Amino acid sequence: MSWYKTAKFIEAAGGLGGTEDSFLGDNQSATVGTIFDVQRYVMDYYVSRVSLSKTSKKISVSIVINSGMFGNTIWEQFWFYDLDEFKKAKDTYKKVQDKTKEVISRFVEEEIPTPLYWASVKKATLDIDPEATHRTNIPNINYSKRYSKDEEPDWRSSIYGNRYPKYTEESEKQHREGHK
């Protein structure tokens, strides 16, 4: 069995379905997962936090992805529910966890560069209860949170579109001979 198959999210659950003696208290549950780049640098790792929180007015589910090295937030998404929709919120929480785990496994198995991780999680969670996602009063932001799931972007695409230039490693001698 490969090492990535044994990796699991760390549960730090509170009273919403986890252990009673958690530091999160009675109204929160959270899961943390980390993905490290298997090809490149120590700096290319990301931490995903999925949480379920209950306040006196609402229930929220969130995912926040941070750069593991620098700590800045790369992407976040929130789903909001009324207090009588706990079952629906818990279902969303579980779906977000599962989709994030699937993306991490795929990235490691296929050796996809981790800077593309957050966009893949965004796409994987796009269909999870879109009516409950957080909205702003800024149309551009609302629009950018959604894009067609029918478009399957190729991670090898770049500023060149799908015409990524071919690159082969060659010695100085091969280089000189090819440019006579």
CA-CA-CA-CA torsion sign (65, 137, 81, 89): negative
User: SS3 of 98, please?
Assistant: helix
- Domain count across the chain: 1
More confident residue, 134 or 122: 122
Q: What is the predicted pLDDT for the residue at 153?
A: 57
Q: What is the predicted pLDDT for the residue at 40?
A: 65
Distances (CA, A) of 140 to 79, 122, 127, 176: 19, 17, 19, 50
Q: What is the predicted pLDDT for the residue at 19?
A: 40
Strand runs labelled E in the chain: 10-11, 28-36, 45-54, 59-67, 73-81
Written as one string, the DSSP assignment of 77-93 is EEEEE-GGGHHHHHHHH
114: domain range?
A: 3-178
User: SS3 of 108, please?
Assistant: helix
pTM of the entire predicted model: 0.68
Q: Which of 62, 98, 96 is nearest to 79 (CA)?
A: 62
pLDDT at 165 over 70: no
20, amino acid identity: E
Are the C-beta atoms of 35 and 111 separated by less than 8 Å? Answer: no
Helices (H), 20-124: 86-110, 117-124
Q: What is the predicted pLDDT for the residue at 150?
A: 57
Are the C-beta atoms of 97 and 105 separated by less than 8 Å? Answer: no
